[in-house]
Each structure stands twice: as C-alpha cells, then as structure tokens.
C-alpha cells in the first residue's frame, strides 16, 4: 500500500475528471470484493480485491465498500470491525477507522449505513464482474438485477481508464518488481525442466517462485507441452525429449501489480532446425512490435508489424506464399497467429478489462474488426507515455484449424497447405515481454532476460 496522500490525490483527480464531464454531484460507489466460497462458505477462493478499489482506496480486506460524494468531495469507507469471535480465528486486525486513515479516507461507517447513504442520490458505478456485487448494486440502486451492468456509468468508466492506464512512477516500480519475480518463475522452470517430468511439477515450480516473491501468480499459469492450445490449463502431460514447453506465467506483488511473460523452450537441450527457425521468427516479430511502440502510435500498428514479420518468415519457410502485405491485410497469417499482439497490464494482468475491453483498447466510437485474428486484438488505440503493455506474438500449428481452413480452401493463394502437412505437429511458440511506453519509444520492464536461441539453449545446459 502507498501513503494516504496517494489515494487522496487519486480521488481528487477522479472528482476533477468527472466534473470536467459535467458531473458535479451524486455518489461514485466502489464495492470492494467479498470472500467467494469454493464449495462451502468457509472454504473460499483466494481473496482478491477489486483493482479499482485498490487504486482509489488501497485496502485489501474483503467485504468493504467505499464511496466518494462528488458534491462534498468527501470519501467514506463502509465496513465492520471484526467481532471478538472473528478475532479468535483471524487474529487482531486494524480497526475500520485505522484502515480508513491509512488510505486518507475522510469517514468510516458501518456497512449497514451504506444503503441509507446512497438513498435518493445519483449513483455512479463500474460494471460488476461478480454476481454478488451485481446483486449488491441492484439492492442499492433499486435497478433490476439484469439491468445493473447496463446501468454502469460511462463517465466513471472513461475517467477510471484515463487515470489507471497511465502508470505513476511508484506503480512502475511495483510492476517492475512483479516482472522481476515473473522472470524468476520462468528461469526456474526453464533451467529445471527435464524429459519425464510432468507439466504439474513445473507448474508447482512457477508457483513456488511467485509465492517466495511475496505474492501469487497474477493468473493461472499455462505450463504446457501443447503450446498450440492457446490457453491450455491442463497439467497432466509428461515432457518428452524433442518437444517444446510453453510457459505463460507471471507474478503479482503483494499489493496487486502484475507481470505476464511467456517463454517457449526445447525439452531437450536444443531446438531442432524447424523449432529454431519458427522461434526466431517469433523473436523477430516481438522486436518489430516493440520497435513500433511510441507515444501517439496506435497499438494496432505494433500488431501489424509483428504480423508482417510472421507472414514473411513463414513465407521464407515455404508455409505461406504470394504477396505478404495482402495476406496480412486479408488475415491469412491468423491461421498461425490468431490473437492480438498484446494488452495493457497493471493492477490487472489484462488491465482494466472488467471495465469493457472496447473502452480500454479502442478509441471512443471505433469498433473492433470482425476478422478472425484481428477480432482478438485487445489493444488497438494510440499508446501514451506511462502505459504498460505486453508484446506477445506467437506462431501456432493448430491442427483443427489447419484442417478446417484446408477443407474450406481458405486463402489457398497465401497458404501452402501441402508443405504445411509435415509441420502440423510442431506445436506452439509464443514469446511475451512487458514494455513501458516512454516519451520517445518504449523500455522493456524487468531485469535482463535474454530470450535468444543461444541464451535459451544455454539455460537448458547446451
């Protein structure tokens, strides 16, 4: 947690932003997250505070709510002190008043007074992503349960995105700490993996590094011998020599800042010739994308910079053919690179996505493309100094997709299906890094982490 003045200043800036949009009164309400039961009430998922609550109020206790009265500019924390019975189980906790002070919050009130506070006031809230919070908002606003998400305040969404997406220096320091820990997760896995081990063993190693760093993984890691399944969350396979391992994993700091990295390495000591060739294209695509990052430049351009390198590289291998500019414009490369080049990252690993992907990643009024591949581009809008973005191109041999496109005769002018047959079992490759937009370009976050072929084979003991 930062000092109280940080949260006070953020709330004051939010009030200003809303005033600039013509909103001078009402209540900006931030429900904190609650405990979430796994299979019975006392056996809960790990508690994770809502990220906007963390940003404006800093507190990571379950069952709180906070409000900013826009007319008086006063903030109120609604929460209950623990009972003596609770204390036996949880140990002593700071009082609600003390917690409010630690975040510079003007008043602390019991949770039972929240509905009275909100009554007959205009309520501004962010879209809920948990049903219990949606139900709480329905009760507080009197809006029907199903209508609650649609009643979220566009002005509040825009104001919160505008603030959270430009990282303060103190936040960059935390994110960089998360990235450093994420690098430790990757190096532990890359240097330990051996034929005969299970994916679960390597998953456990990644967890160990994240926990040792003081936090948790920032999302359920992907630790897989089947990298062509983009978000593979099974961990039951055994590593076999000659195959590839894909690790997509990041750490979260104890106060909620994320890292998000992907590595693809040989389960033996060296990549074979085809693996090496494809991996190098992915590295080159990442370099092209990161070099395209500069303030004012739409992130879509970084995506296309990566896509062009991938298409040209695959043409060089005989897997694509024809005019690669046209192939990329038509979306043919998406057979191999079906996702976007990256997303914003901060207090959420996909930062701010709960507020609406379109509002976070696209200029107001602009729609997402419906084209396969491009429709998965989360971030397309011009970037600004202080934004943190992932750069994560990949090449995948997705057998089911190849079969369908081949059967449909899709893009036969660009794709060499005959040549592709002998490559289809190669698997999936992704390289993911975290970048900060600077005044003139971008800087990779985190300590040195060489992903070159020589370095990766070096980690593997070659």
What are the residues binding Mn ion (CB under 5 A)? 248, 260, 390, 432
Which is nearest to 390 in space by CA: 442, 452, 428, 329? 442
- CA distances 365 to 21, 236, 371, 381, Å, are 17, 44, 18, 11
Half-sphere exposure (Cβ direction) of 260: Cα atoms closer than 13 Å: 24
- Quote the least distance from Cβ 227 to ligand GLY, whole Å: 12
Residue number with CB closer to ligand GLY (171 or 348) = 348
Residue 219 binding result from Mn ion, ligand GLY, none, given CB thresholds of 5 to 8 Å by partner type: ligand GLY
| Contact status: 252 vs ligand GLY (CB under 6 A) | no
Residue number with CB closer to Mn ion (148 or 352) = 352
- Measured distance CA(95)–CA(33) in Å, rounded: 18
- Within residues 51-110, the interface with ligand GLY by CB under 6 A covers none
- Quote the least distance from Cβ 180 to ligand GLY, whole Å: 17
| Contact status: 255 vs ligand GLY (CB under 6 A) | no
Residue nearest ligand GLY, CB atom distance: 248
- Measured distance CA(404)–CA(431) in Å, rounded: 26
Q: How many residues does the chain have?
A: 462
Contact at 8 Å (CB) between 14 and 159? Answer: yes
- Quote the least distance from Cβ 31 to Mn ion, whole Å: 27
- Within residues 371-410, the interface with ligand GLY by CB under 6 A covers 392
Residue 349 is classified by DSSP as: S
- List the x/- string, 166-205, binding to ligand GLY by CB under 6 A: ----------------------------------------
- Quote the least distance from Cβ 219 to ligand GLY, whole Å: 5
Instruction: Kindly provide the b/e burial profile for residues 126-151, where b requires at least 16 CB atoms within 10 angstroms of the residue's own CB.
Output: bbbeeeebbebbbebbebeeeebbee
Residue number with CB closer to Mn ion (248 or 348) = 248
- Quote the least distance from Cβ 430 to ligand GLY, whole Å: 8
Contact at 8 Å (CB) between 133 and 354? Answer: no
**Phi, psi (5° rounding) for residue 312?**
-60, -45
- Quote the least distance from Cβ 114 to ligand GLY, whole Å: 35
Q: How many CB atoms lie within 10 A of CB 409?
A: 9
- Quote the least distance from Cβ 362 to Mn ion, whole Å: 18
> How many secondary structure helices (H) and strands (E) does the chain include?
16, 17
| Contact status: 207 vs ligand GLY (CB under 6 A) | no
Which is nearest to 158 in space by CA: 365, 334, 339, 305? 365
| Contact status: 432 vs ligand GLY (CB under 6 A) | yes
Residue 52 binding result from Mn ion, ligand GLY, none, given CB thresholds of 5 to 8 Å by partner type: none
- Measured distance CA(291)–CA(451) in Å, rounded: 17
Residue number with CB closer to ligand GLY (24 or 231) = 231
Residue 351 binding result from Mn ion, ligand GLY, none, given CB thresholds of 5 to 8 Å by partner type: none
Among 109, 260, 433, 434, binds ligand GLY (CB under 6 A): 260
| Contact status: 219 vs ligand GLY (CB under 6 A) | yes
Residue number with CB closer to ligand GLY (76 or 181) = 181
- Within residues 306-345, the interface with ligand GLY by CB under 6 A covers 343
- Quote the least distance from Cβ 52 to ligand GLY, whole Å: 20
- Quote the least distance from Cβ 428 to ligand GLY, whole Å: 13
Measured torsion, CA atoms of residues 231, 342, 427, 286, in degrees rounded to the nearest 10? -160
**β-pair partners for 251:** 217
Count of residues that bind ligand GLY according to CB under 6 A: 6
- Quote the least distance from Cβ 379 to Mn ion, whole Å: 10
**Phi, psi (5° rounding) for residue 17?**
-65, -40
**Phi, psi (5° rounding) for residue 216?**
-145, 170
- Within residues 24-43, the interface with ligand GLY by CB under 6 A covers none
Half-sphere exposure (Cβ direction) of 423: Cα atoms closer than 13 Å: 24
**β-pair partners for 75:** 68
The helix or strand, by DSSP H or E, that contains position 78, with its residue range, turns out to be strand 74-78
| Contact status: 248 vs ligand GLY (CB under 6 A) | yes
Residues lying near ligand GLY in the complex (CB under 6 A):
219, 248, 260, 343, 392, 432
């Amino acid at each position: 947690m930062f000092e109280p003045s940080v949260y006070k200043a953020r709330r004051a800036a939010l009030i200003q932003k809303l005033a600039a949009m013509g909103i001078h009164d009402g209540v900006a309400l931030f429900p904190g997250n609650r405990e979430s039961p796994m299979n019975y009430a006392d056996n809960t998922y790990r508690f994770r505070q809502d990220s906007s609550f963390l940003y404006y109020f800093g507190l990571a206790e379950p069952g709180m709510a906070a409000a900013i009265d826009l007319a008086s500019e006063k903030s109120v924390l609604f929460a209950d002190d623990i009972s003596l019975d609770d204390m036996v189980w949880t140990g002593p906790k700071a009082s609600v008043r003390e917690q409010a002070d630690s975040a510079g919050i003007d008043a602390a009130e019991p949770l039972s007074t929240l509905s009275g506070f909100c009554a007959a006031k205009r309520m501004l809230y962010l879209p809920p992503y948990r049903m219990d919070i949606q139900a709480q908002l329905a009760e507080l606003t009197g809006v029907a349960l199903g209508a609650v998400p649609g009643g979220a305040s566009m002005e509040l969404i825009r104001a919160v995105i505008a603030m959270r997406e430009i990282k303060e220096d103190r936040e960059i320091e935390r994110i960089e700490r998360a990235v450093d820990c994420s690098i430790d997760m990757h190096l532990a896995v890359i240097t330990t993996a051996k034929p005969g081990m299970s994916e679960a063993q390597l998953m456990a190693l990644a967890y160990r590094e994240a926990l040792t760093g003081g936090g948790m993984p920032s999302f359920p890691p992907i630790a897989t011998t089947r990298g062509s399944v983009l978000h593979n969350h099974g961990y039951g396979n055994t590593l076999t020599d000659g195959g590839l391992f894909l690790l997509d994993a990041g750490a979260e700091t104890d106060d909620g800042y994320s890292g998000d990295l992907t590595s693809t390495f040989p389960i033996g000591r060296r990549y074979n010739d085809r693996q090496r060739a494809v991996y190098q294209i992915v590295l080159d695509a990442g370099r092209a994308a990161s070099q395209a990052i500069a303030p004012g430049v739409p992130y879509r351009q970084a995506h296309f910079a990566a896509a062009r390198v991938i298409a040209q590289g695959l043409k060089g291998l005989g897997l694509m053919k024809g005019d690669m500019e046209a192939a990329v414009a038509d979306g043919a490369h998406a057979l191999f690179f079906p996702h976007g080049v990256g997303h914003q990252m901060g207090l959420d690993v996909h930062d701010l996505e709960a507020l609406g992907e379109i509002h976070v990643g696209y200029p107001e009024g602009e729609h997402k493309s419906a084209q396969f591949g491009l429709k998965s581009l989360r971030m397309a809008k011009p970037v600004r100094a202080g934004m943190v973005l992932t750069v994560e191109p990949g090449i995948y041999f997705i057998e089911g997709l190849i079969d369908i496109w081949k059967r449909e005769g899709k893009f036969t002018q660009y794709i060499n299906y005959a040549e592709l047959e002998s490559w289809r079992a190669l698997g999936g490759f992704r390289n993911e890094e975290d970048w900060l937009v600077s005044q003139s370009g971008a800087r990779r976050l985190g300590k040195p982490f060489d992903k070159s072929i020589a370095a990766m084979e070096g980690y593997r003991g070659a």
